[in-house]
A and B are shown apart, each in its own frame.
Chain A
Amino acid sequence: QVQLKESGPGLVQPSQTLSLTCTVSGFSLTSYSVHWVRQHSGKSLEWMGRMWSDGDTSYNSAFTSRLSISRDTSKSQVFLKMNSLQTEDTGTYYCARNFWGYWGQGVMVTVSS
C-alpha cells in the first residue's frame, strides 16, 4: 500500500540547515509528485514545494532563497534542505503525495539553541 514517512532531526540550532527525508513505498516517484508542507503548532498548513514526477521542482517563493528539494528515485526518497533556520521555522513538516490523498505522519522540528 501507499506509504510516506518523514525522517530527520527533531532539534536544529538557529542559522543551521534542516535536512529531511521522505521515504515512499507503494508508488514510484517517476509517476507521482511529492509535496512538502509545514504546519506551525495549532495553525494551518503551508505549502513549501513540490518534486514533480519528471524531476522538476516548484517552490513557494516564501522559501525560494533557502529551500531545496531533490530526490533519489532508486531509493524512493525525496529530500528537503532548508538553510538559515530561525525559531519561526519550528513546526511539523509533512510530505504528501499528489493529489493530497496520502500523507506521512509528519516530523516535528524545533529550532532552538
Chain B
Amino acid sequence: DVVLTQTPPTLSATIGQSVSISCRSSQSLLHSNGNTYLNWLLQRPGQPPQLLIYLVSRLESGVPNRFSGSGSGTDFTLKISGVEAEDLGVYYCVQSTHAPYTFGAGTKLELK
C-alpha cells in the first residue's frame, strides 16, 4: 500500500501567518493516464472532510485562493498564505492513484 507521510503532525500559527504542510508518498503518484491523483482535505472538528485541492494544484470551487498546492511524483505541499481562524482543523492528503487509496495521518493546525 502507498504510505503518505505528512509533516509536521501539528502546526501552530498566528492569524495572518503563512504555513506549509508536506505530504510525501512511498511511491510515485503519477498515474499511467498522466494525472496525479493527490488531493488535500480539511476536517474541522465534528465535521466531515472538505475538499480543498485536487489533482495536486487545482483549487476546488468555493475554496479561498489563499490555499495552494504544488508538487509532483512523491513530494507534495499545501500552502496557506495568511491563516484565518476558519482554517483551523486537521489537514489530510489523500491519494487515489493506487488502490487501496490512502490518507496521510493528518496535520493539526492550531492557533499559537
Contact = CB atoms under 8 A, between A and B. Distances in A.
Interface residues on B, range: 20 to 34
Interface in A33-83: 35, 44-47, 50, 58, 60-62
A98 B101 CA distance: 12
Interface residues of A, number: 21
Nearest to B39: A100
Interface stretch (B14-22, B23-31, B72-80, B91-99): B91-99
Given A100-B39, A100-B54, A58 B99 contact: yes
B104 A44 contact: yes
B105 interface: yes
Interface stretch (A8-16, A24-32, A101-109): A101-109
Contacts of A102: 51
Interface string B32-69: 00000101010000001111001000001000000000
B54 A103 contact: no
Contact of A99 (B50, B54, B103, B105): B54
Contact of A101 (B37, B60, B92, B101): B60
Interface of A: 35, 44-47, 50, 58, 60-62, 94, 96, 98-106
Q: Which 10 A-B residue pairings sit nearest by Cβ, starting from the closest?
A: A103-B48, A60-B100, A47-B101, A45-B103, A101-B51, A44-B105, A100-B51, A44-B106, A44-B103, A100-B39
